[in-house]
Structure 1
Amino acid sequence: MSLFLKQILLFSLPLIFLFCLLLPLHHFHSHTHTQTHFPHNPTFSNPFSPPPRIAYFITGTKNDGSRIFRLLQAVYHPRNYYLLHLDQFASHKQRIQLALKVGSVDVFVAAENVNVIEKADAVNEEGSSPLGLVLHGAAVLLKWKMDWDWFVNLDASDYPLIPQDDFLHILSFVPRNLNFIEYNMNISPEEYQKALEVVVDSRLYILLRGKMFVGDRKRVLPSAFKLFMGSQHVILNRKFVEYSIQGWENLPRLLLLYFTNTRSSHKGYFQTLACNTLEFSDAVINSNLRFINSDNTARDPSDFRAPNSDRILKREVAFVGNVSADSPLLDMIDAHILHRGRGMVSPGGWCLGSSNWFSDPCGEWGDPSVLRPGPAAKGLEKFLMKSIKDMSIKSSRCDHQ
């Protein structure tokens, strides 16, 4: 298979304040292929409500290339877009290897929907640089494609708990103005103390070395807006992402000024922005559709064998986080939920090949808008329907838990 790297320059959007001004231009690895491409204008199975498209931003650090690639295979669907990022702690060789892996998969090349960032950013998880990374990833996805509906950021330690056919099918019946953001308006004493600190993240101007600078004086909590905190993982609709990046009002820039010197700002920026904006505050569901395997103790394969798989299938989430690379949970999800063969992408309605031990059902491709959902997402569907119903009878903005 012939393969070459096509370099695309993407310009930082001018209205992103400190973060994206300090981040370098990015280069993608993309590929061409002689095999038949997916149709550019497929016939939708339901012309009145075509399936949505999701823009995934998947990030990792040193030695995470294999984990990112496995996650990509597990969460892959030809309708979606995928931007992969290994930070500066990973070597340039590891990024090249990841790009070559992507280029070795026929369906990725044919669909032209997977890219790897070549020139990566430095990230300090306790500073404001992770927020800069997420904003820049979102800006790149907006620059690359404009026809996606939701932005989802995942880490290398995340994994899907439902097939993409199920996820896209459920989201087909969900209002596309919704944002899924886990938030808490009653911040904990620890978060309160962090909010009072004035910090400087050295990763904004030093690539790998440099300590976090903490001011010796405290600041008061803001009165111009109400502070919300939550998870750094979000599912944002495209209009809210555009608002965050382009900032046609002053609030996004005001919050960037504040969160630039706030510890772990990626756990509060989107929460505070959405809940202080009239246009978006009434369309926030207080969940990011994932649960955290906080102690990473889900290692007993017997918990996830077919007879006991309801323990996972009934969860009202789409992703699980903080899963170790060698956890048997990954194999159990592949086998009993995603039905994904080793080294293959997760099958869906677009896969026309025969499914057996020796062949890849996605070796032959059909219409990517044809979805064949199964029973895996019943819990998530029930949760979303209840959440939307609750929103219709509550008029308060981000103040109900």
Structure 2
Amino acid sequence: MRILTDVCRCVHPYMHTRTPIHRAEETWSWLHRAEADAVNPNPPSLTWTAARKCAVGSALFLLSFRIFGYTGKFLSLYDVSTCNAFPTARSSSDMLRKDEPLHFLRLHPASRLPLSTSAQAFIPKLISEDPHPSPLITLETQDGYFSHRPKEKVRTDSNNENSVPKDFENVDNSNFAPRTQKQKHQPELAKKPLSRQKELLKRKLEQEKGKGHASPGKGANEVLPPGEGAAVNSSHGKDAPRQPHARKSGGSSPEIKYDQPPKCDISGKEAISALSRSKSKHCRQEIGETYCRHKLGLLMPEKVTRFCPLEGKANKNVQWDEDSVEYMLANPVRIAFVLVVHGRASRQLQRMFKAIYHKDHFYYIHVDKRSNYLHRQVLQFAKQYSNVRVTPWRMATIWGGASLLSTYLQSMRDLLEMTDWPWDFFINLSAADYPIRTNDQLVAFLSRYRDMNFLKSHGRDNARFIRKQGLDRLFLECDAHMWRLGDRRIPEGIAVDGGSDWFLLNRKFVEYVTFSTDDLVTKMKQFYSYTLLPAESFFHTVLENSPHCATMVDNNLRVTNWNRKLGCKCQYKHIVDWCGCSPNDFKPQDFHRFQQTARPTFFARKFEAVVNQEIIGQLDYYLYGNYPAGTPGLRSYWENVYEEPDGTHSLSDVALTLYHSFARLGLRRAETSLHTDGENSCRYYPMGHPASVHLYFLADRFQGFLIKHHATNLAVSKLETLETWVMPKKVFKIASPPSDFGRLQFSEVGTDWDAKERLFRNFGGLLGPMDEPVGMQKWGKGPNVTVTIIWVDPVNVIAATYDILIESTAEFTHYKPPLNLPLRPGVWTVKILHHWVPVAETKFLVAPLTFSNRQPIKAEEALKLHNGPHRSAYMEQSFQGLNPVLSLPISPAQVEQARRNAASAGAALERWLDSLVGGMWTAMDVCATGPTACPVMQTCSQTAWSSFSPDPKSELGAVKPDGRLR
């Protein structure tokens, strides 16, 4: 029986030459012969003749024909590890590989056959048609092993700034889409129709009144990106490992409490969903009140007055003339730049500010209220210039939120009330923008068209725009989220327009929008207070219907780097109940787009120095010339990720753990590399938490972390402040000897995968036991192939294995295997095989934690976190049978050592952590930020790598005689 099962894992390569009828007939014929062979006390040798009798392989060929049609590729049912063990069978499977199987499905000795969802629907019918069912094989379709990721649907183009894709009708904008977060299973909701789900949900909410509030996990409203398989929705219990392949519906319903009961019956499915997902009592109260006011007809205007005397849409044509700069008008315009910024990229912001600054203009800067580090940096440089001010108020300007429009309207009011700032134009920018023409060119152009307003329209029929933009839906912003609450009508009497939320508006129109109390402005402000992406439509609609309608120019004077295939992956559904797009960062190959001279464009977006700084340098040198030879720091970039005033509460336990370890690694380098025998002048003892942490890039390559930390010099017993540079070691390795498979270029494991820019936002790959790593592969062009990915934990337990179909044009693939947590700390290995021949491998570190909730971890908690999942079961399936095939023995001594490590705490835990970190990271250098007793240690400002080293491209100094900083 076992021999037959092994043989049946290798599939007959000639079945594709048979017709469907012949394949069906041979299938059942071979079933009988296979059954006879199974009881033969002297089974035939493992030759391809025996393999031809594999009934299961034949049946799966027939199954693949039924599911996929005949395309020359077929569904495979085999375990090539078995074929590797039997040379004859392996050579036959190599023949099969010429046509590359679509899926990789395992047949275990216990005859369990986990299948994909599509296959499960056909298996019972296929078996029921067998006139002589075979007792040899039992199919268990309940526990599916989804080994092959579905291909992601390509999103097509659209014209407005952040719109949904053109294939909007195929995009699921439901509030009930599958969620990636772990949620309590509600089986009674799983298979009910929507109306029944609403009744059950309302009933559960009523039943839970009076009970303790059960807040959903972080990002409980998240949904899967298109094309991703559903992840785990089950909760983590103490002794109940996650069930990674189960499909679960619904989510735990929080108790809903109101300060005042809602004034209506909340029956809309969107509103019910929003109430069940919102986290705060205040937000739920606001959702209920808003929904009821809308239901009672008290929220939205029904009719609005149009004041534009023109019929249809006005659009003035403007021309760009390079020679116009030479004829600067006697009264040049003065510009109010409103910078709406967030994040921590202070040096990129300063470089952009340096490029757009002129003493004749005005700069009003709003920093997101969640970006305290950046706010401190902006306040510091704003004090140097009289024409720069920072908003005394701050909002959380989430993507697509109503707060962004509120920010612009409040900024306009502030600017108009600044009587000492006589500005003519309002221009909004972000830190991801950069000028592509000089200040003189911009001023000359706007002076020529000083009565115009520049906004980019969507460029398609309004009905389609309204539907795709969600203007006919009611939204509410609270808890830093845009909740969709239901449908609404567009007010009668006006034409709705929209497009990009980046614009240039003249002072007259800004005054009208800010101070007018006419029917159009007041009702549009009310309407757009409950609108998704309101800044993309409010100013367009008001201008087009106002007395100023003749001043509209359908051009916002920007170049935006749209790549819809990458940028429209619904990546903001954790922030808004809608599907949106975002532009990509510019790269050096895009530079030619800035050199066109026909169109009047003056700014471009987006730029991001952590993705590519070279393009910013190219553009900067193109506009203002090169820096003098020998200028330091031109190819370097530093970005802060932590500073002491932020507080350790802003750090994860993983980050805090590793930052401490990096600092100790630096102290050991100082002791071994700078220390001389008989002296303690370069020996240190660490003190306190790290003071700051920076990412360090050189020539657009991540170079590691810079940790500023305090330590006591043991020679003089004085506290010193040092900065340590740690760099990750290279962990990607091509197999030796190299295989003949040449498409793989690189592989990496991390978290926070950015599918738009195709990189991990978790620079350095800092992972802990409770993280969910993603495996990424980068490919060169070539024929369609299937590769096998194997994840191996620190004690050689095979945690996951799956196949990925690599299409000929694929550049990147990524997949997050649904592993049970916690992961065992230590160095993990991800192996990549083609035809089960090793191609390459990469490693990554899962760090044991020395902190829990930013406090030193206790021994009992460390044991729970560091001992791996229950029974070392990362998935429901066990891949133990592959260990001998892959030469990965599980050593009892190694397992015992891992158990002892898991039980360690205090100094022993730190030693274990530091030994792991030292194997994956290198302390490249250490410097002192101030006085030091170590005579051979450099001062940080004199190094080329330190965050204290010179950075002229981003440093802001005195205004030059020509009025500029750059």
- TM-based fold match above 0.5: yes
> TM class by shorter-chain length?
0.5 to 0.7
Mapping 1:348-359, distance limit 5 Å: none
After superposition, the Cα gap between the structure-2 partners of 1:116 and 1:223, relative to the gap in structure 1 and judged at 3 Å, is same
By how many angstroms is 1:310 displaced? 7.3
After superposition, the Cα gap between the structure-2 partners of 1:364 and 1:151, relative to the gap in structure 1 and judged at 3 Å, is closer
CA distance in 2, matches of 1:283, 1:148: 18
User: Which of 609, 618, 631 is equivalent to 1:332?
Assistant: 618
2:478 is aligned with 1:197:
no
What is the identity, as a one-letter code, of the residue corresponding to 1:121? Answer: M
Structure 1 range deviating more: 45-54 or 156-165: 45-54
Contact 2:557 2:603 in 1 (8 A): yes
What is the identity, as a one-letter code, of the residue corresponding to 1:68? Answer: L
1:281 counterpart residue number: 549
2:561 counterpart residue number: 293
By how many angstroms is 1:201 displaced? 1.0
Contact 1:83 1:115 in 2 (8 A): yes
By how many angstroms is 1:299 displaced? 1.8
Q: Percent identity at matched positions? A: 23
Contact 1:65 1:86 in 2 (8 A): no
Contact 1:102 1:114 in 2 (8 A): yes
By how many angstroms is 1:136 displaced? 1.1
After superposition, the Cα gap between the structure-2 partners of 1:65 and 1:222, relative to the gap in structure 1 and judged at 3 Å, is same
- SS across alignment from 1:139: helix
2:494 counterpart residue number: 225
- SS across alignment from 2:370: coil
- SS across alignment from 2:411: helix
- SS across alignment from 2:502: strand
Contact 1:123 1:130 in 2 (8 A): yes
After superposition, the Cα gap between the structure-2 partners of 1:363 and 1:121, relative to the gap in structure 1 and judged at 3 Å, is closer
By how many angstroms is 1:101 displaced? 2.6
User: Which of 470, 477, 483 is equivalent to 1:213?
Assistant: 483
What is the identity, as a one-letter code, of the residue corresponding to 1:318? Answer: F
**Residue by residue, what CA displacement relative to the aligned partner does 1:158-214 show, whole Å, maximum 9, x if unpaired?**
11001101111222222x221001124723736425011111111xxxxxx353222
2:360 is aligned with 1:79:
yes
After superposition, the Cα gap between the structure-2 partners of 1:125 and 1:78, relative to the gap in structure 1 and judged at 3 Å, is same
CA distance in 1, matches of 2:401, 2:958: 43
After superposition, the Cα gap between the structure-2 partners of 1:363 and 1:89, relative to the gap in structure 1 and judged at 3 Å, is closer
Contact 2:524 2:538 in 1 (8 A): yes
User: Which of 500, 516, 528 is equivalent to 1:259?
Assistant: 528
What is the identity, as a one-letter code, of the residue corresponding to 1:212? Answer: M
User: Which of 350, 357, 375 is equivalent to 1:69?
Assistant: 350
After superposition, the Cα gap between the structure-2 partners of 1:72 and 1:297, relative to the gap in structure 1 and judged at 3 Å, is closer
Contact 1:49 1:172 in 2 (8 A): no
Structure-2-length-normalised TM-score: 0.28
By how many angstroms is 1:317 displaced? 0.5
Mapping 1:2-401, distance limit 5 Å: 49-91=330-372, 93-103=373-383, 108-109=384-385, 112-144=386-418, 145-174=420-449, 176-184=450-458, 186-187=461-462, 189=464, 191-193=466-468, 194-202=470-478, 209-216=479-486, 218-278=487-547, 280-295=548-563, 296=584, 298-300=586-588, 304=591, 311-313=595-597, 315-326=599-610, 327=612, 328-339=614-625, 341=627, 365-366=960-961
Q: What 5-or-longer segments of structure 2 have no aligned partner? A: 1-298, 300-325, 564-583, 633-951
Q: Which has the larger radius of gyration?
A: 2
CA RMSD of aligned residues (A): 3.2
Q: What 5-or-longer segments of structure 1 have no aligned partner? A: 1-17, 19-44, 203-208, 344-356, 371-401
After superposition, the Cα gap between the structure-2 partners of 1:321 and 1:272, relative to the gap in structure 1 and judged at 3 Å, is same
CA distance in 2, matches of 1:364, 1:129: 34
By how many angstroms is 1:67 displaced? 2.6
Task: With a CA cutoff of 8 Å and minimum separation of 6, indicate the structure with the bigger relative contact order.
Answer: 1
- SS across alignment from 2:396: coil
**Residue by residue, what CA displacement relative to the aligned partner does 1:212-245 show, whole Å, maximum 9, x if unpaired?**
22223x1222212111011101100001001111
- SS across alignment from 2:457: strand
By how many angstroms is 1:126 displaced? 1.9
After superposition, the Cα gap between the structure-2 partners of 1:210 and 1:334, relative to the gap in structure 1 and judged at 3 Å, is closer
**Residue by residue, what CA displacement relative to the aligned partner does 1:363-383 show, whole Å, maximum 9, x if unpaired?**
674475x9xxxxxxxxxxxxx
CA distance in 1, matches of 2:463, 2:441: 36
CA distance in 2, matches of 1:101, 1:234: 26
1:354 counterpart residue number: none
Contact 1:58 1:68 in 2 (8 A): no
What is the identity, as a one-letter code, of the residue corresponding to 1:102? Answer: A
CA distance in 2, matches of 1:48, 1:316: 18
CA distance in 2, matches of 1:298, 1:58: 20
CA distance in 2, matches of 1:195, 1:69: 36
After superposition, the Cα gap between the structure-2 partners of 1:260 and 1:310, relative to the gap in structure 1 and judged at 3 Å, is closer
Structure-1-length-normalised TM-score: 0.65
